[in-house]
């Protein structure tokens, strides 16, 4: 039997994007590590780059108008650090700041609340040459950068996200070599993770000072971890994966310590930490941003990293080969509520890649994405009814964009982008989402 699930009044529905993935406008900014990574042969699908992307840098007004047509209440976007500080520090590119000022003003004209992410992976190349996030100094340069941005936007932007998915930055970029800067070194990755967390803590008072009544949070990519069987070694392997993926970031931010089990497992490879660091990292935040896509099913597997391996049970999978598992979202939100008592939660990303096709009459019938979103909205609703302080939901993504190592070969948007003409076409999922927003409810 179908039912109508109503969301709390004022629930913030929106979409999310990130600077490197949509902006283009490379001539008007400094270089970042992803510009370099795209030019490293074999690292990014067919050598795709972010040089033009969706050309949002020039088309932002149309994109905001489209969001308004769809009824969006909020928009999460990130700032390109090298657009503000081409060398990562020092001289400010005022044209870069002007762009974000115009974007914020346009959003506000359409009554769309801006949620600003300060770092979504585009570290200035100039700072990478000085050691990147492995260098402690980068955390202080990030704090300076946060100061420049908040001074310019802080009178109109009141929702700030310090980092997007530090796990991906640290481990995909420095342990698995799949993302920029492309290294494969565990101690380095752990040091990077620590400096990202430190920079998060350093930025908090700067954002509070510069933006009256600011709501400040961090976005983590989180997944429930399930053991493949109830065997003791699989259960223990799942616990390690949880420590590696979820708790390594949750515990410092909420409890001011790294998880003891993982600290012991990493042994001599643990990061160097200054005495005051954990106190800085644990500074109170106003919300946790949750990026949820799927769960992980884990089995014990000696000879693999952490003696574990992810397995892929039968089920439905997206074009990323990620299992469709909406009930994991309810499980995750309730666990976060119970274990960490965040003041508020936002789903800062959720969505799926599908093999979308544009029909000759300009339609995209992405019924799989509609089903995916419907099921995840219902799962979020379920968590709210059980006490999770969920205040909003940002679908990833507003429009198709540069999907990192996959280049433009994966489409996550609810709006289709024809990369040859840069024309935008709302997919069926955009129309579906607009109706959910208009009713503040979803039929399950």
Catalytic residues: 165, 349
**Residue pair 395/351 in contact by the 8 Å Cβ criterion:** yes
Q: Which SS3 state, helix, strand or coil, does residue 301 take? A: coil
Residues whose CB is less than 8 angstroms from the CB of residue 314 and which lie 6 or more positions away in sequence, other chains included: none
Select 89 or 410, whichever has its Cβ closest to ligand IFM.
410
- Out of 5, 7, 12, 18, the residue judged to bind ligand IFM by CB under 6 A: 18
Rounded to whole angstroms, the Cα distance separating 83 from 98 reads 10
Q: Which of residues 182-241 bind ligand IFM (CB under 6 A)?
A: none
Q: Which SS3 state, helix, strand or coil, does residue 369 take? A: helix
Residue that has been written with the tokens 């969920």 in this structure: 390
- Out of 44, 75, 403, 432, the residue judged to bind ligand IFM by CB under 6 A: 403
Measured from the CB of residue 349, what is the shortest distance to ligand IFM in angstroms? 5
Select 249 or 396, whichever has its Cβ closest to ligand IFM.
396
Measured from the CB of residue 268, what is the shortest distance to ligand IFM in angstroms? 32
Query: Which sign does the torsion angle of CA 101, 105, 106, 112 carry?
Result: positive
Give me the 134-173 binding string for ligand IFM, x by CB under 6 A, dash otherwise: -------------------------------x--------
Q: Is the preceding peptide bond at 403 cis, omega within 30 degrees of 0?
A: no
Measured from the CB of residue 396, what is the shortest distance to ligand IFM in angstroms? 5
Q: Counting beta carbons within 10 angstroms of the beta carbon of residue 284, is it exposed (0 to 12), middle (13 to 18) or buried (19 or more)?
A: exposed
Q: Is residue 12 at the binding interface for ligand IFM, with CB under 6 A as the rule?
A: no
Alpha-carbon distance values, 164 to 46, 48, 76, 143, 442 (Å): 26, 22, 11, 15, 28
Select 280 or 373, whichever has its Cβ closest to ligand IFM.
373
- Out of 349, 356, 366, 400, the residue judged to bind ligand IFM by CB under 6 A: 349
Select 165 or 356, whichever has its Cβ closest to ligand IFM.
165
- Out of 291, 318, 337, 350, the residue judged to bind ligand IFM by CB under 6 A: 291
* Strands ordered across the beta sheet of 308-311: 225-227, 296-300, 308-311
Q: Which of residues 359-398 bind ligand IFM (CB under 6 A)?
A: 396
Q: Which of residues 21-50 bind ligand IFM (CB under 6 A)?
A: 21
């Amino acid at each position: 039997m179908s039912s109508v699930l109503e969301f709390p009044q004022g629930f913030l529905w929106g979409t999310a994007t990130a600077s490197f993935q949509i902006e283009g406008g490379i001539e008007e900014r400094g270089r970042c590590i992803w510009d370099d990574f795209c030019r490293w042969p074999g690292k990014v699908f067919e050598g795709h780059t972010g040089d033009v992307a969706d050309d949002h840098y020039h088309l932002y007004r149309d994109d905001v108008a489209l969001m308004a047509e769809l009824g969006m209440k909020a928009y999460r976007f990130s700032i390109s650090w090298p657009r503000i500080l081409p060398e990562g520090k020092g001289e400010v590119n005022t044209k870069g700041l002007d762009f974000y000022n115009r974007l914020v003003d346009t959003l506000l004209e359409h009554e769309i609340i801006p949620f600003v992410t300060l770092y979504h992976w585009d570290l200035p190349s100039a700072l990478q040459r000085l050691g990147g996030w492995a260098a402690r100094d980068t955390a202080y340069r990030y704090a300076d950068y946060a100061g420049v941005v908040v001074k310019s936007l802080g009178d109109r932007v009141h929702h700030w996200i310090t980092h997007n998915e530090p796990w991906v930055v640290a481990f995909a970029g420095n342990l698995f070599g799949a993302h920029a800067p492309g290294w494969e070194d565990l101690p380095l990755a752990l040091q990077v993770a620590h400096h990202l967390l430190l920079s998060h803590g350093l930025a908090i008072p700067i954002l509070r000072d510069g933006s009256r009544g600011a709501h400040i949070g961090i976005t983590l990519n989180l997944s429930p971890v399930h053991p493949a069987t109830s065997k003791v070694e699989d259960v223990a392997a799942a616990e390690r994966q949880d420590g590696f993926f979820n708790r390594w970031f949750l515990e410092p931010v909420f409890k001011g310590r790294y998880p003891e089990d993982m600290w012991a497992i990493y042994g001599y490879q643990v990061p160097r930490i200054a005495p005051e660091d954990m106190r800085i990292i644990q500074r109170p935040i106003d919300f946790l941003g949750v990026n949820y896509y799927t769960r992980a099913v884990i089995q014990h597997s000696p000879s693999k990293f952490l003696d574990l391996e992810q397995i892929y049970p039968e089920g439905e999978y997206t074009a990323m080969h990620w299992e469709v598992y909406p009930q994991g979202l309810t499980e995750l939100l309730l666990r976060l509520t119970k274990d960490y008592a965040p003041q508020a939660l936002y789903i800062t990303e959720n969505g799926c890649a599908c093999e979308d096709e544009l029909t000759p009459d300009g339609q995209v019938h992405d019924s799989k994405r509609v089903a995916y979103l419907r099921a995840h909205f219902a799962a979020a609703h379920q968590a709210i009814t059980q006490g999770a302080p969920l205040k909003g939901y940002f679908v990833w993504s507003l429009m198709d964009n540069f999907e990192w190592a996959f280049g433009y070969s994966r489409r996550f948007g609810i709006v289709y982008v024809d990369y040859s003409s840069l024309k935008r076409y709302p997919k069926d999922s955009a129309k579906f989402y607009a109706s959910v927003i208009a009713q503040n409810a979803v039929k399950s």
